[in-house]
Amino acid sequence: MSVIALDLGSTRIKAARIDPGGALTDIAAVDAPALTREGLRCEFDARELERRARELLASLEPRRGERLALAAQRSSFLLWQAADGLALTPAISWQDRRAASWVARHAPLERLARESAGLPLSAHYVGPKLAALFEERPELARRAAAGELRLGTLDTWLLWCWSKAKLHATDESMAARTLLYDARAAAWSETLCASFGVAPTLLPCVLPSAGRAHELELGLALCASAADQSAGALHAVGTAESGVLVNFGTGCFVLAPCGSRWPRDPRYLASLLCSLPSAGGARERFHALEGTVNAGAALLAAHPRRGEPGPELPADAFALVDENGIGAPHWRPELAPQWSASAAGLDAAGRARVAEQGLCFRVREILDDLGGGARRCVVAGGVLNDAGFAQRLADALGRSIEVCLEPEATLLGAAALAHGAPPPQGAALTRTVHPTPAQRALEARYRAWRVWLDTALKR
């Protein structure tokens, strides 16, 4: 039977029907609820998200018993009342960094965060956000300790709503991105939860990514669920160590699968791609090392290229483009985007070229660290529809890339989990883009950018 896959993105909510052969037949999309930004705060209406997602699924006219596969943006969450499901907070976005001061005051927790969760102590994640929220609103902390509240990432919230409060659960790849979960022990971390003031009754049950069957509204049965970046990586490059995915979205994420091996590199993030049920009730887990650029499609949209090559850029025109703090491997969440003096003085067209080049160079440094030269490199995201960008990216990386020809890799990866295990090498159709002679000139610029980067990060 076909699967309906639902992708809860930061910008768009998408749903599609995928047949057992992996072909996408019906697709629909709506805008995600608008983000409200105020200083470091970034949030949206969780009730509106649920309404739009439900109406989107209904537009595909689900068949009774049809399977549902869910993919959700990581680290966004909310609190609601256990008694009646009333949302007590907006959905607090992964982009929200209101917990920055809390993190600064609790820096000794960094080691525990790295050792238990494979993540840095950062305001991007649920644990610190929740601790800061409890400081700001002590009544929520009291009610949480009394067992009156429930915590959920976006997948958990929809499952609660659509199961008539019978299901308070999340997928393991989503739990692993909260900074409350010990992925190696496969359990909520008592130590981390205590550090952030999180009561056990607040937390959802953690289930595998596939092999499930939960009856929901609209006659659908939830059979698979995964974090959005994990689902995209499963379709694009699979679980084996032979490939790496560069996914351009609201942010740019570089995922290098490690098979079943727990990744160890203190500069990068440990990500759980999926957990699958195996014999005897055990689970088989697949991991990845992840680098992050907190800029991507939004940055390219803000600095559009017109296709013309333009005059030669000044030799010292550089940019560090992360918009929500500098991501891994540097992890400097307090830093804003950086421009060299000569880049700041360029006109709009010149700054657009420097911004795009800065994004490409950030991707290159991550690929160099993660052994990308020995792996096939698959790139995905709507910005790749511009053939000119794909070529400029290959030139900046100094290597051949495979452009994913399927714009809905996240939906297809989630559906593959519902149909069974995703193939180890991925299943994406791609086209190869080779670097041109222009890449030789970019080699010197990249080396100079690395020197400038070191200086910029020390300011």
Same domain as 332, residue 213: no
pLDDT surpasses 90 at 383: no
Domain stop point among 200, 227, 254? 227
Same domain as 161, residue 256: no
Same domain as 410, residue 294: yes
Same domain as 294, residue 164: no
Same domain as 275, residue 169: no
CA pair distance 348, 337, nearest whole angstrom? 16
Phi-psi region of 94 (alpha: psi -120 to 50; beta: other; left: phi over 0): alpha
Percentages (nearest 5) of helix, strand, coil residues in the chain: 35, 25, 40
153-167, 247-261, 371-385, 386-400 — which is least confidently predicted?
A: 371-385
Domain stop point among 227, 242, 259? 227
Closest listed residue to residue 255, CA positions, set 296, 201, 292:
292
Same domain as 196, residue 110: yes
Q: What is the pLDDT of residues 122-162, one digit of tens each?
A: 999 999 999 999 999 999 999 999 999 999 999 999 999 99
CA pair distance 17, 32, nearest whole angstrom? 19
Q: What is the pLDDT of residues 75-111, one digit of tens each?
A: 999 999 999 999 999 999 999 999 999 999 999 999 9
| Token pair for 87 | 């949302």
Q: How many domains does the chain have?
A: 2
Q: What is the pLDDT of residues 35-55, one digit of tens each?
A: 999 999 999 999 999 999 999
Same domain as 298, residue 245: yes
Domain stop point among 227, 259, 279? 227
Same domain as 198, residue 113: yes
Same domain as 205, residue 100: yes
Same domain as 221, residue 236: no
pLDDT surpasses 80 at 205: yes
The residue range of the domain holding 220 is 3-227
